[in-house]
Amino acid sequence: MAPEFSVQSRAALQRRHPQRAGAPTRLLIYSHDSFGLGHLRRCRSIAQNLVHTYPDLEVLILSGLPIIASYDFDERVRYRLVPGIIKLSNGDYKALEAADIREAIEARSQMILETAQDFQPDLFLIDKEPLGIRGEVTETLKYLKECGVPVVLGVRDVMDDPVAFAAEWERKLAVPALEEYFSEIWVYGLERIYRPLQGLPLPPAVEQRIVYTSYLWREEELTETTAPLPVEPPFLLVTPGGGGDGEGLVDWVLSAYERAPELMRALIVCGPFMHAESRQQIEARAARLPHVEVLTFEPEMQRLMMAASAVVAMGGYNTFCEILSFDKPSLIVPRTRPRLEQFIRAREAERQGLLTMLAHDADDPDPQAMIDALKALPDQPHPSSVVIPGLLDGHQAIAHRFARLTGLALEPSARVARA
């Protein structure tokens, strides 16, 4: 059960920000997005659903990904770009524009603090990293604590191997930060499936702040600019997410089609972060295969997921939510480096009967194993064949917790959006 915190009345909020009396409620989101699209897409989904639920709400997302401009947002959801940084394969960070990573972190930290001071949020939602990348959110946390603004940490259903994760958070001083600054910790998953914070030395007071929201429902988003599908159904959708480390999955799928061209038509979406040379090699191989099409990037992945007969993926958080939401048979080929997140998620989901996992030898994947798995995939049971109560109720839970922490009234008739 979620812990109960004192509800802040609208009058209390107005006393805290007297110059904003009668103004819309404001949510500030910090999107930890140094690698891939996962954090940004999850934050966007939460923001979109909250403004669809609460007409008196404005959201501002802080992100370092310029590709955020490719996505459609509700008019009450805005974003502000901070200097971009990327996470390297060895775990280090690299600034995209500044000469030195320390210079980039300092600039980001100052911009985050100034944004909080200007925007005056009623709640601050931090994605994944309690103190931000290299502690860049620390000063903002201190400022908001002085202002009495509630702060929430949102984490995905699986973080990493418990031992490795505990060591990482000890190094980052994350647990003391949770105790000092955070009102709640939202886990975007189900305790029945996995407990991502297990193994951490959490004080009882912090344990009581953990709220399992469940997974985040997705639905097809249609806009005036939505283009026709690039491939007519039936087809298999192959997606390595952002694509930054997805060459292995796509290579294995292509090797299967090169030996078994009779397989169902496949649509491969490489992802915007796949290395250009790797993408060009993939496109050249696919051009010789009559039943394989390749796209670089599709911001409206939901519509492709909805149209597909089945899905082949690495199994990142957002892809997993879409597989459940659109009820697609799926084959998950998880990465195991630098984190075990995808492997653990796939393993636990397979135990629940929600999908099939295919582990592979990174040095010498067997094409026949992939051929056999792809042939079996269309006849695999759909996720809905397994009844797990509340599996996709994440947005409803978040809307209620948001109302609880900000003092907003959630009317019984209010529609909690699902997108």
> 327 — phi, psi (to 5°)?
55, 55
pLDDT in tens, the chain (419 residues): 333 333 343 434 444 554 455 678 999 999 976 556 788 999 999 999 999 999 999 999 999 888 888 888 999 999 999 988 876 555 566 666 766 888 889 999 999 999 999 999 999 999 999 999 999 999 999 999 999 999 999 999 999 999 999 999 999 999 999 999 999 999 999 999 999 999 899 999 999 999 999 999 998 665 555 678 888 999 999 998 876 788 999 999 999 999 999 999 999 999 888 889 999 999 999 999 999 999 988 878 888 999 999 999 999 999 999 999 999 999 999 988 888 999 999 999 999 999 999 987 667 789 999 999 999 999 999 999 999 999 999 999 999 999 999 988 654 434 454 44
The torsion angles phi and psi of 30, rounded to 5 degrees, stand at -100, 115
State yes or no: cis peptide before 3, omega within 30 of 0.
no
Determine the Cα–Cα distance for residues 384 and 387; give it in Å rounded to an integer: 7
> Do residues 104 and 45 make contact, with C-beta atoms less than 8 angstroms apart?
no
DSSP state of 166: H
Domains of the chain, with CATH numbers? Answer: 10-217+392-406 (3.40.50.2000), 236-385 (3.40.50.2000)
- Burial group, residue 290, by CB count within 10 angstroms (0-12, 13-18, 19+): exposed
Beta bridge partners of 186: 154, 211
- Which one-letter amino acid corresponds to residue 176? P
- pTM of this structure: 0.89
As given in the structure block, the two tokens for residue 89 are 């394969």
